[in-house]
Structure 1
Amino acid sequence: MGTSASGVQVKVAALVTPSDPTHTHLLKLSSIDSQLFLRFTIEYLLIYQPLQLNGVDREAITGRVKAALARALVPYYPLAGRVRARPDGSCLEVVCRGQGAVFIEATADNFTVSDFEKAPRYVTEWRRLLALEVVDVLSGAPPLVVQLTWLADGAAALGVGFSHCICDGVGSVEFLNLFAKLAAGRRSGATVAFKPKPVWQRNLLDPMSFKQGATLTQHTEFSRVTDCCKFMTRFDPDQLTPTSVTFEEWRLNELKNSIAATNQLRLLSVTTFEALSAHIWRSWATALNFPPNQTLKLLFSINIRHRVKPSLPTGYYGNAIVLGCAQTTARDLTEKGIAYAAELIKEAKNRVDDNYVKEVVNSVSLNGASSVPDPVGVLILSQWSKLGLERVDFGIGRPVQVGPVCTDRYCILLPVHDHSRSVKVMVAVPSLAVDKYLDLLTAVQ
């Protein structure tokens, strides 16, 4: 991790261990945590305005952030452990010995805050702002990496990578909030006084907890479909163009109104997520010009904390998610209108109840590798706009831009600074289709 053509210079890379002694033991991850398709790193990029104070002491700020990381790792000590497969192969576990998270300090002489107002020029342009890329989370790599990069204009970029095996989006942001409060110096009490307190209890999403009443049925998110168009060859990273489109509140209302105007009573209460994701899915599918008989799926995470009975405890930071799956043909998706797509998405959400979660838990426990989403025909959409990332303040103000480290073929919905009801959509589209996709996405319904 040295100087590269990217203009990012790593000054320090170090392991940060918990500031106080923590438990030394093995912690079993849940069946949901252990799924093959969650064995990657969630990578956030938070961009902060240039500091206006005269004589800003970057070293002091960096020191505060690094010290806060050590303190935050005390209640969240599994993030300082290492993930591995259990010897019996049943699931994953965390070896907790206070091994530490990685903290990196860097400078970037070719980035300023304005560079992040638009999409990156290519998929990996911002990669060096989280220089340690963890490709294999079971290889002994740290499950948490934090990089503070000072930009050319005095702005700051904070890249954070979490092992998805240990936490989901909600859980990761709960950690970030504690980390940020400690860095900002708001020490109204001990670390444990911050809310919510972290809750492990991964046994709550294990098959034994769902033994009664669970059934085993085929879920469309895991079913394979016929590949009519050499689907994955379209998504070579070198042939993708990142896009970024912001939808203001009026535009989102316009989408919802266009659906309500169809007079389908069950869609009068369509949510912003349903309307926007339907519009994105249709624009993407139309631009890519799939064969009419190609089966297409929209996959998206659904928070199950309050969909299971009893609800999961406040502060549960493990993977409390299942995949919602809307499925149809390319012909129907592109020809039947936005209301049709929104209805499929609403139905996919409504299917997820306590029994549905039981089915998924049992399926991934028994079938393991076979319970993996087939990528053919799939657009994966992740909603970061409701996580609260735009409020994470390390004592240098709230971020003015929030995004992924790499903008690839996974579509991410993001918050917009100072516009709580607006949403930014980022996804990389095959370069040959990008102009048509943008025209469709920004067209008035």
Structure 2
Amino acid sequence: MNELIHDCQKNHKFQQREHRKFLALMLFIQVTRFKCRGFIFGLATNHCMCDGLGAIGFVSSWGETAPGLPLCVTPSLDRSILKARDHTKIEFPHHEFTKIENVSDTTNLYQDKVRDKSCLDPEKLVQLKQMALKDKALGKCTTFQALSAFVWRARCKALKLRPEQQNRLLFTVDGWPRLNPPLSKFFFGNGIVLMNSLCIASELLDMPFSFTVVLVQKAVSMVTYSYIRSAVEYFEAKIYPPSLSSTLLITTWSKLSLLLFFSPSYLL
């Protein structure tokens, strides 16, 4: 295996410099060939270029052209629908971009990282949704809503946040069908929308589990065409990225047709 691994030198400054170069790339492709004639294809794109759906379309189209076949569809590159209007109109508050004061001083908690993962199989996901509906505070919920609420609460408890600590859940919502007109299914670009739920730690831990699920549901329900336009123009006017202080960021790939290599279970 040593013959397949690139020696990037054990020099800290060199690694930092190369890492910065990598982050600045729009598209990075690496092909590793094995002596058995097999190979591994690795691809990384800057999120400014496209979202998950756009990336899947790009890889699929590339796979078609590799053996010399013509493209089945022509990618749509028209991003004018996502352009800010001439007269900026920010209609909604966008707490997904605001910085939260870290009154719990959690910086030291990230010095010694413990990496672990848990697999939630379909049976456990059903149990989680049953927990959310147990007190009959809500009529229904999706798997994503229940799972996001559960992880958000668990993280808050694990970090031992102070009761008054503002705590944010940040997640992406598919904006493709919500635009007017909707984005073409062959669109290559970003059609996702950042949404958030905001709550202090004491409410998150002391209130019933259904309370947290409702917070997620309310955030999802806010994603309308007007909200997307407002977010685009807020970002255009402020020109700074979302703050991740006191924030848990969750994303789901369950709608991506990765063919694939992943089961319907969720890996955390």
Query: TM-score over 0.5 for the alignment?
Result: yes
* RMSD across aligned positions (CA): 2.9
Shift of 1:181: 4.3
1:198 aligns with 2:194: no
Shift of 1:294: 0.6
Which residue pairs with 1:178 in the alignment? Answer: 61
CA 1:283/1:158 → structure 2, altered by over 3 Å: closer, same or farther? farther
Whole-angstrom CA distance in 2 between matches of 1:376 and 1:159: 31
CA 1:381/1:135 → structure 2, altered by over 3 Å: closer, same or farther? farther
Which residue pairs with 1:259 in the alignment? Answer: 132
SS state of the match for residue 302, structure 1?
strand
1:366 aligns with 2:237: yes
Q: Which amino acid aligns with 1:375?
A: L
CA 1:150/1:262 → structure 2, altered by over 3 Å: closer, same or farther? farther
Whole-angstrom CA distance in 2 between matches of 1:133 and 1:199: 31
1:77-92 aligned within 5 A: none
Whole-angstrom CA distance in 2 between matches of 1:180 and 1:243: 34
Which residue pairs with 1:298 in the alignment? Answer: 169
CA 1:342/1:133 → structure 2, altered by over 3 Å: closer, same or farther? same
1:147 aligns with 2:30: yes
Q: Which amino acid aligns with 2:226?
A: N
CA 1:258/1:146 → structure 2, altered by over 3 Å: closer, same or farther? same
Shift of 1:155: 7.8
Structure 2, unaligned runs of 5 or more: 8-14
Whole-angstrom CA distance in 1 between matches of 2:252 and 2:75: 22
Which residue pairs with 1:384 in the alignment? Answer: 253
Q: Which has the higher contact order (CA 8 A, sep 6+)?
A: 2
Shift of 1:205: 0.5
1:305-344 aligned within 5 A: 305-344=176-215
Which residue pairs with 1:46 in the alignment? Answer: none
SS state of the match for residue 243, structure 1?
coil
Q: Which of 83, 88, 100 is equivalent to 1:225?
A: 100
Q: Which of 340, 352, 355 is equivalent to 2:226?
A: 355
Q: Which amino acid aligns with 2:79?
A: R
Q: Which of 208, 221, 244 is equivalent to 2:117?
A: 244
Shift of 1:326: 0.8
Shift of 1:154: 9.1
SS state of the match for residue 115, structure 2?
strand
Whole-angstrom CA distance in 1 between matches of 2:32 and 2:22: 24
Whole-angstrom CA distance in 2 between matches of 1:424 and 1:358: 32
SS state of the match for residue 251, structure 1?
helix
Partners of 1:259 and 1:268 within 8 A in 2 = no
Which residue pairs with 2:267 in the alignment? Answer: 424
Shift of 1:314: 2.0
Q: Which of 51, 54, 79 is equivalent to 1:168?
A: 51
Shift of 1:333: 1.2
CA 1:377/1:172 → structure 2, altered by over 3 Å: closer, same or farther? same
Partners of 1:231 and 1:376 within 8 A in 2 = no
Whole-angstrom CA distance in 2 between matches of 1:211 and 1:310: 20
Whole-angstrom CA distance in 2 between matches of 1:148 and 1:388: 22
Partners of 1:216 and 1:363 within 8 A in 2 = no
Whole-angstrom CA distance in 2 between matches of 1:158 and 1:268: 45
Shift of 1:374: 2.1
Shift of 1:335: 2.0
Shift of 1:318: 0.8
Whole-angstrom CA distance in 2 between matches of 1:276 and 1:349: 14
Q: Which amino acid aligns with 1:328?
A: C
Q: Which amino acid aligns with 1:159?
A: G
Whole-angstrom CA distance in 2 between matches of 1:282 and 1:153: 48
Whole-angstrom CA distance in 1 between matches of 2:199 and 2:56: 33
Whole-angstrom CA distance in 1 between matches of 2:102 and 2:162: 10
Which residue pairs with 1:96 in the alignment? Answer: none
SS state of the match for residue 324, structure 1?
strand
Partners of 1:232 and 1:375 within 8 A in 2 = no
Shift of 1:174: 1.3
Which residue pairs with 1:108 in the alignment? Answer: none
- Greater per-residue helix proportion: 2
1:100-126 Cα shifts (integer Å, max 9, x gaps): xxxxxxxxxxxxxxxxxxxxxxxxxxx
Structure 1, unaligned runs of 5 or more: 12-127, 392-397, 400-414, 426-445
SS state of the match for residue 299, structure 1?
strand
SS state of the match for residue 176, structure 2?
coil
Shift of 1:156: 5.6
Which residue pairs with 1:9 in the alignment? Answer: 5
1:292-328 Cα shifts (integer Å, max 9, x gaps): 1111001011111111222112211211122110111
Which residue pairs with 1:346 in the alignment? Answer: 217
SS state of the match for residue 172, structure 2?
strand
1:38-73 Cα shifts (integer Å, max 9, x gaps): xxxxxxxxxxxxxxxxxxxxxxxxxxxxxxxxxxxx
CA 1:227/1:10 → structure 2, altered by over 3 Å: closer, same or farther? closer
Whole-angstrom CA distance in 1 between matches of 2:132 and 2:222: 21
How many residues are treated as equivalent by the alignment? Answer: 259
Whole-angstrom CA distance in 2 between matches of 1:277 and 1:157: 33
1:21-48 Cα shifts (integer Å, max 9, x gaps): xxxxxxxxxxxxxxxxxxxxxxxxxxxx
